[in-house]
Amino acid sequence: MLLRKNYRKMTGRFVLSVGILTCLALPAWALEKDLTVVTSYPKDLTTAFKQAFEKQNPGVKVEMLKKKTTAGVKYIQETASNNSSDLFWASAPDAFEVLKGDGLLAKYTVKAVGIPDLIGSYPINDPDGYYKGFAGSGYGMMWNTRYLKAKKIPAPKEWNDLAKAVYHGHTGMSAPSRSGTTHLTVETILQGEGWENGWKLLKEIGGNFHTVTERSFGVPDGVNSGQFGVGIVIDFFGLSSMASGFPVDFVYPTVTTLVPANIAIVKNSPHPEAAAAFIEFLLSEAGQEMLLDPKIRRLPVRPETYAKAPKDFPNPFIDKTIGAKVKFDVVKSKDRYNLVNSMFDVMITYRLDDLREATKAVQDAEKAMAGKSNAEAEKLVAEARALIAVLPIDENKSLDNEFSAIFKKKRKKATDKVTGRQAEVEQQWDTMVKSNYAEAIKLAKKAKSML
């Protein structure tokens, strides 16, 4: 009896609670959602702009749909046939390039005036007029002060510092294939240092990595919790971590890269006017000033806004070391986008253990060599270093459109032809890289044993 009653009671209650919950949730979809913004930006930023914009435009409601950049792109691609998004708002220009290439963005001409063409050496707006830069960010290094103190490691100042043996196993970075802004940094290094030297530097830095993180936020997260000491991050990650009270510090190296942050109207946007208004608000003086908030911390694209900035706020329009050294070639970057990512993954991300071991062996040998002179050992170590640096393809090949198409092969028409398969090519590279790292370890160990 009792049991039966209880059973009934439970069922009853359950049905009731489901009913109540359903009613609670009804307004969720009954609400009018006017402007839908697909964005990768954190809450602090999106909420501030949402509130300010809604206040300025009564009657318009903004829906901030947060997706990781890659997922956001995928989302817009997959829903294109029945689009319900108005704006795409994220940092990485290449994400916009992909959407533009797929014909999923709408052209828009900004009405606001007073915004220069370049920030640092990087063009603020898409030359084709599809996406607009509204802010910039610089790349730098953040570190955990407790970590460095406990392990007696000096704070880094320049990119090259991270290649030093003292940082072995203490640094972290996100993979360029996972984070558009990281890709931009990698590409900047490749363009600034040259193809060969750029990769050499990247591998030297990579050989010290504790981790290559999957999310770009994984890097500040790792430094904040002390998993590793130093991370290569975009400035606002470092600065907002400091602002949140973590025992961390941040520097721009003397030569840094500037990453623009963009916004674009999605093709067939259901509310193009509200979308345009949002862009104009973002670029207005009021909108630009909001970027100075320590929790948001982006570099405005309006030079005059910097007058209202706190004292040590970097100003790329005056300080030419920020992002000015490299003349960034957008077309080049775009053409070999996937290829560079794939190379990074094959040589560094997926072979991190091998690379790390090889780097360690070389560093150990060099340490043993310090102060001594042994020509043969030096030669072996140099050979080992060279082996680590060997690249599967040269720069010309990287710019060979037919070759890099293997990595895109987004066939638009059935007649589009691509030769070769990514998996096949990557396997060849992997075999080569793996055996080179193994050989380098052998040489370095041999060198060390000679001392």
Reference 133, options 320, 310, 330, 312; nearest CA is 330
Of 91, 188, 240, 262, the residue at the interface with other proteins (CB under 8 A) is: 240
Can you read off the two tokens belonging to residue 412?
Answer: 């638009």
* Residue 184 burial (C-beta neighbours within 10 Å; 0-12, 13-18, 19+): buried
Cα separation, 201 vs 191, in Å, equals 12
For the bound state, the minimum distance from the C-beta of residue 87 to other proteins, rounded and expressed in Å, comes to 14
Cα separation, 300 vs 260, in Å, equals 10
Q: Is 227 in the site for other proteins (CB under 8 A)?
A: yes
Select the span of 52-60, 89-97, 278-286, 308-316 touching other proteins (CB under 8 A).
Answer: 89-97
Cα separation, 418 vs 401, in Å, equals 11
For the bound state, the minimum distance from the C-beta of residue 432 to other proteins, rounded and expressed in Å, comes to 11
For the bound state, the minimum distance from the C-beta of residue 15 to other proteins, rounded and expressed in Å, comes to 9
State which residue, 79 or 121, has the beta carbon closest to other proteins. Answer: 79
State which residue, 21 or 286, has the beta carbon closest to other proteins. Answer: 21
In 207-328, where does DSSP find H-type helix?
Answer: 218-225, 235-243, 272-283, 285-290
The contact pattern for other proteins, residues 33-72, with x = CB under 8 A and - = no contact, is: x--x-----xxx------------------xxxxx-xxx-
Q: Is 107 in the site for other proteins (CB under 8 A)?
A: no
User: If phi over 0 gives left and psi between -120 and 50 gives alpha, with beta otherwise, what is residue 226?
Assistant: left
| Helix or strand holding residue 206 (H, E) | helix 195-206
Of 208, 369, 426, 443, the residue at the interface with other proteins (CB under 8 A) is: 426
State which residue, 110 or 390, has the beta carbon closest to other proteins. Answer: 390
Q: Is 109 in the site for other proteins (CB under 8 A)?
A: no
Residues near 51 by beta carbon (within 8 Å), at least 6 away in sequence? none
For the bound state, the minimum distance from the C-beta of residue 398 to other proteins, rounded and expressed in Å, comes to 16
Can you read off the two tokens belonging to residue 294?
Answer: 């320590």
For the bound state, the minimum distance from the C-beta of residue 297 to other proteins, rounded and expressed in Å, comes to 11
Q: Is 245 in the site for other proteins (CB under 8 A)?
A: yes
State which residue, 166 or 418, has the beta carbon closest to other proteins. Answer: 418
Site of tokens 């406990």: 150
DSSP 7-67: HHHHHHHHHHHHHHHHHHHHHHHHS---EEEEE---HHHHHHHHHHHHHHSTT--EEEEE-
Show contacts with other proteins in window 196-215 (CB under 8 A). 210-214
Show contacts with other proteins in window 274-303 (CB under 8 A). 295
> What is the dihedral sign for C-alpha 238, 44, 92, 351?
positive
State which residue, 22 or 373, has the beta carbon closest to other proteins. Answer: 22
What does each C-alpha distance from 286 to 45, 100, 289, 302, 316 come to in angstroms?
14, 29, 5, 11, 20
Of 16, 31, 331, 382, the residue at the interface with other proteins (CB under 8 A) is: 31
Q: Is 318 in the site for other proteins (CB under 8 A)?
A: no
Reference 160, options 117, 197, 124; nearest CA is 197
Cα separation, 450 vs 447, in Å, equals 5
Q: Is 308 in the site for other proteins (CB under 8 A)?
A: no
Of 88, 131, 134, 147, the residue at the interface with other proteins (CB under 8 A) is: 147
> CB-hemisphere CA count at 13 Å for 150?
11
Show contacts with other proteins in window 170-199 (CB under 8 A). 177-178, 180
For the bound state, the minimum distance from the C-beta of residue 115 to other proteins, rounded and expressed in Å, comes to 27
State which residue, 77 or 315, has the beta carbon closest to other proteins. Answer: 77
State which residue, 5 or 55, has the beta carbon closest to other proteins. Answer: 5
User: If phi over 0 gives left and psi between -120 and 50 gives alpha, with beta otherwise, what is residue 268?
Assistant: left
Show contacts with other proteins in window 388-417 (CB under 8 A). 407-411, 414, 417
Show contacts with other proteins in window 338-367 (CB under 8 A). 338, 341, 345-346, 349-350, 353
For the bound state, the minimum distance from the C-beta of residue 88 to other proteins, rounded and expressed in Å, comes to 12
CB neighbour burial string for 16-26, b if at least 16 within 10 angstroms, e if fewer? eeeeeeeeeee
Of 12, 14, 319, 320, the residue at the interface with other proteins (CB under 8 A) is: 14
Of 32, 55, 81, 370, the residue at the interface with other proteins (CB under 8 A) is: 81
Of 48, 52, 106, 243, the residue at the interface with other proteins (CB under 8 A) is: 243
Q: Look up residue 156 and give its DSSP letter.
A: P
For the bound state, the minimum distance from the C-beta of residue 240 to other proteins, rounded and expressed in Å, comes to 5
